[in-house]
Chain A
Amino acid sequence: MGNELAMQARVNLSIQLPGDHSSLLPVHADTWSGDSPYEVVVWLPLVDCYGTKAMYLLPPAQAAALDRNFSQLAGASGESLYQAIQSDVTWLQVRYGEVLVFNQALPHGNRVNIEPETRWSMNCRFKGVFTPYGDKQIGEFFEPITLRAASRSGMAYSLPKTS
């Protein structure tokens, strides 16, 4: 990502109660809803996450195959898309104290949590300050957290006036 980072200004908190159908994230890549492909997501569980208490991710090779055949596989809804890739997704196991950094351009999501415990997790996006932005812009969503001296100096520079 480079050594000058922009960070999501307001970190997200996600709570997934057992059996809750009302706050599911259907299969998606963040890039499909306007995020920059230069972003990564840091996913920080506050509890041990496993099975349906966690999330699933489509691995890179399968995601590339999906991209190639998207119109055939997508069907009529997000659910039909999930059914098409269900056998290829990987359910993640991330324990409390561990952190997951993932490429949000890979399709991911969650299903109804049928484990007996609630999932509490936080997520936050990071990207290179000077890489392309998507719909989430500097200022309204991202804020620079590491700017090097040369960048600060360059941004402050203007040519001398001759008149």
Chain B
Amino acid sequence: MNRFRGYIFSRPFMGERVPQHVQNLVIRDYCARRQLKFLLSATEYAMPGCDLILTQVLDELPELDGIVLYSLFQLPEGRQRRSAVFQKLLDQGKALHCAVEGLKASNAQEFDRLETLWRVRQTLPDCLQPAA
């Protein structure tokens, strides 16, 4: 099958904003390099914190081999919600790819790796900051 649904954002995430067509270009290139069949990206709603479209893509998982996010940091910010996303992918034996980071997770260890990256990133605002 080898079918992967793209997932992009229509709002900033982690203080970054990337035009949608650029997000799609990055995902398309990532899929081409790894010989993944890229299915038209789903675009998350712009409302802050909203992940309704991600939920819809997860509901579509039985028809897919996985999801290609533009960025790992487009996952839900809440730990429990993120964990539920990972668990759903694990339960169905599907893969999660993050195009910008060049990361892939399809087993518990690899999802733990993604979660560690999230936790470090969420901790950084409480750490030493660059000089102005």
Contact = CB atoms under 8 A, between A and B. Distances in A.
Interface of A: 6, 9-10, 36, 129-134, 137-140, 143-144, 147, 152, 154-156, 158
B39 interface: no
Contacts of A147: 116, 120
A4 to B, nearest CB: 10
Q: Is the interface of A mostly helix, strand, loop or mixed?
A: loop
A133 B129 CA distance: 8
A140 B123 contact: no
Given A137-B121, A138-B117, A139-B117, 18 more contacts: A6-B120, A36-B130, A129-B120, A130-B123, A131-B128, A133-B124, A139-B72, A139-B73, A139-B101, A139-B121, A140-B71, A140-B100, A140-B101, A154-B123, A155-B119, A155-B120, A155-B123, A158-B79
A143 B101 CA distance: 10
Sort chain B's interface into a size bin.
Answer: 20 to 34
17 contacts: A36-B130, A131-B127, A132-B129, A133-B124, A134-B130, A138-B120, A138-B121, A138-B124, A139-B71, A139-B72, A139-B98, A140-B71, A140-B100, A144-B117, A144-B120, A154-B123, A156-B119
Contacts of B71: 139-140
6 tightest Cβ-Cβ pairs between the two chains A and B: A155-B119, A132-B130, A130-B127, A139-B117, A140-B101, A139-B101
Contacts of B120: 6, 129-130, 138, 144, 147, 155
A14 B72 CA distance: 29
A144 B116 contact: yes
Contacts of B73: 139
Contacts of A9: 101-102
Interface of B: 71-73, 79, 98, 100-103, 116-117, 119-124, 127-130
Contacts of B128: 130-132
A16 B98 CA distance: 32
Contacts of B117: 138-139, 143-144
Contacts of A152: 116
A36, A133, A139, A144 interface centre (most CB from chain B within 10 Å): A139
B120 to A, nearest CB: 5
Nearest to B73: A139
A134 B129 CA distance: 10
A147 B121 CA distance: 13
